[in-house]
A and B are shown apart, each in its own frame.
Chain A
Amino acid sequence: MLVELTDIDYEYLGGSPGAARALSGVSLGIESGEFVALIGKTGSGKSTLTQIMAGILEPSTGSVRIEGRDLWGDKRQKLQGRASVGLVMQQPERQLFETTVADDVAFWPKNAGVDGDAIEQLVDRALERVGLTPDTYRHRSPFSLSGGEMRKVAIAGVLVMEPRLLLLDEPTVGLDPHGRRELLEYITGLNRDGTTIVMVTHDIDMVAELADRVLVVEEGRLAADSTPGALFSHRSGQFEELPGASMIARELARGGFAIEDEPITLDELADSIIRTSEKASV
């Protein structure tokens, strides 16, 4: 098991009048290689949960294990655990601070004590990974970039250590459709190469398209742990929001064109329609 959370509670401003319970009794495990989507309403606790997994927030109760090591057990383990987890926070552009793109991306490896030559290689590889030509961008100031480029540099600053677990908190918000597609391509590419992905999103279509597994958070609790296919089944009515393809399938069924299976992505929908109509015409 790559990540294992046991009975996690988390309270912001614990013990004060503003205390807010953000997570209650969350237990879950994530296996190496999975692509997990984390969904839920605004304020349900998704960001908090990713930060707990990243070892950035210490749970009020419960334990966090990364590759079997108890993160909050003792300090050395915590540092080791963190090295294999990358966290791209909501609006990651906020983390940029260095004078050049290369320096900013090099921040983590420098902190981790990687030495000079190796750092340069890591930085170039990370920039390429997010689609920025190292030669063009290396020496630019991160603050002179467009919003989308800043986002890419920020993400490169996390990819640079090649973490085994990559946590992304609404990474595509604010990107144009092209930038969005590009970013999702890098992410699926990483996943194909073995990186475990946990992605927070409000985009149900994206979940249907990409994830192997969906976790639904509701008011700080894990309300569902399922596959996109099962969760978005319009027949079971388990989940109120549906991907576009499922809604079309549902409307088709209502209009008398019953599709036999339950497509959740556009590709699947097209296939199902073709198959259903072929059968009908036979």
Chain B
Amino acid sequence: MIGSSPALGQYYPAESHLHRLDARFKLVVVVGFIFALFFIERPATMVLTLLILPLLLVLSRLPARWLWRSLRPLLFILLFTFVIHLLFTPGETLFVFGPITATEAGLTRGLFFALRLVLIITVSSFITLTTTPMALTNAIEMLLKPFKRLGLPVHELALTMSIALTFIPMLLGEAREIIKAQKARGADFESGHILRRARGFVPVLIPLFVGSFRRADELALAMEARGYAGGEGRTRLHELVLVRNDYLWLAAGAALIALMLAADALILW
């Protein structure tokens, strides 16, 4: 239930290797990993790659339960991906359900795409789970610095992102309150088939949108009122510093990605 879950990928405070690792490296490794994922062709490699999840859990000292609960809202999308592939891939019939046919090829494809999604989502959420939003935006701003010369408003982008990141828990909190208010008026979010349930969220989404636009306006005003005038010449509270350890971790990450690609090339099934 929404009422008791942490937000998607919400920062989990702890002392761990992953927490200490420089946010820029985490970003680079994860982007590399996701990129590599798209070169993987075999379902078996996907399954093997799942092994990095327990590894990441150990390195980050994150309880599995927290990860699970922060990702549970996405279950529906995963299921949807799986079912679409299962039903709409041509191939040998696995079983027939009314007018719909599930195929064997669909089963493997469905698993393959669902697993890829699981990996992308979980691995990238490890960034936000182990990095404070502030460190993360700093890292993004620094990584994008070279593009500043090309006219990319790097500082503004980073700021937008950090605001978006802080807005998410706020929006979730607001959603929680609205859900409660509608429940008190007899709204039912828990029963009925998927379509009915999806429609049931209209009374939550509309106030949420209205509220977030108002929030955005207020925030813009409040920032200007406190003298915000863009990125030039602004100083920062925390500068990122690289230590040697970080490079070791970067190397380890790269090695893992290479291993994954190699496995995909070598496994024959």
Q: Which residues of B sit under 8 angstroms from A89, Cβ to Cβ? A: 177, 180-181, 184
B54 within 8 A of A: no
Stretch at the interface among A91-99, A240-248, A266-274: A91-99
**Given known A94-B207, A107-B203, contact A14–B184 (CB-CB < 8 A):** no
Q: Which residues of B sit under 8 angstroms from A96, Cβ to Cβ? A: 207
CB of A111 within 8 A of CB of B184, answer: no
**What 0/1 readout, one digit per residue, does chain B (203-237) give for beta carbons within 8 Å of chain A?**
11011001100000000000000000000000000
A228 within 8 A of B: no
Q: Which residues of B sit under 8 angstroms from A16, Cβ to Cβ? A: 6, 65-66, 69
CB of B13 within 8 A of CB of A17, answer: yes
**What 0/1 readout, one digit per residue, does chain B (171-209) give for beta carbons within 8 Å of chain A?**
000100110111111111000000000000011101100
Q: How far is the CA of A236 from the CA of B12 in the complex (A)?
A: 48
Q: How far is the CA of A14 from the CA of B186 in the complex (A)?
A: 25
Classify the interface of chain B: helix, strand, loop or mixed. helix
Closest to A99 in B: B206
CB of B66 within 8 A of CB of A95, answer: no
A54 within 8 A of B: yes
A15 within 8 A of B: yes
Closest to A105 in B: B185
Closest to B205 in A: A97
Count A-B pairs with CB separation below 8 Å. 71
B73 within 8 A of A: no
Q: B65's contact among A15, A56, A94, A111, by CB below 8 Å, is which? A: A15
Q: How far is the CA of A200 from the CA of B228 in the complex (A)?
A: 38
B146 within 8 A of A: no
CB of B207 within 8 A of CB of A82, answer: no
Tell me the minimal C-beta distance from A51 to chain B in angstroms.
6
CB of B4 within 8 A of CB of A111, answer: no
CB of B188 within 8 A of CB of A111, answer: yes
Closest to B180 in A: A56
Q: Which residues of A sit under 8 angstroms from B13, Cβ to Cβ? A: 17
CB of A94 within 8 A of CB of B181, answer: yes
Q: How far is the CA of A157 from the CA of B187 in the complex (A)?
A: 12
B3 within 8 A of A: yes
Q: How far is the CA of A226 from the CA of B17 in the complex (A)?
A: 54
A72 within 8 A of B: no
CB of B4 within 8 A of CB of A92, answer: no
Q: Which residues of B sit under 8 angstroms from A83, Cβ to Cβ? A: 186
Q: Which residues of A sit under 8 angstroms from B6, Cβ to Cβ? A: 13, 16, 18
A143 within 8 A of B: yes
Tell me the minimal C-beta distance from B185 to chain A in angstroms.
4
CB of B4 within 8 A of CB of A56, answer: no
**What 0/1 readout, one digit per residue, does chain B (5-32) give for beta carbons within 8 Å of chain A?**
0100000111000000000000000000
Q: How far is the CA of A279 from the CA of B71 in the complex (A)?
A: 74
Q: Which of B3, B65, B183, B184 has the most CB of A within 10 A?
A: B184
Binding site for B on A (CB under 8 A): 12-18, 51, 54, 56-57, 82-83, 85-87, 89-92, 94-97, 107-108, 111-112, 143, 157-158, 161
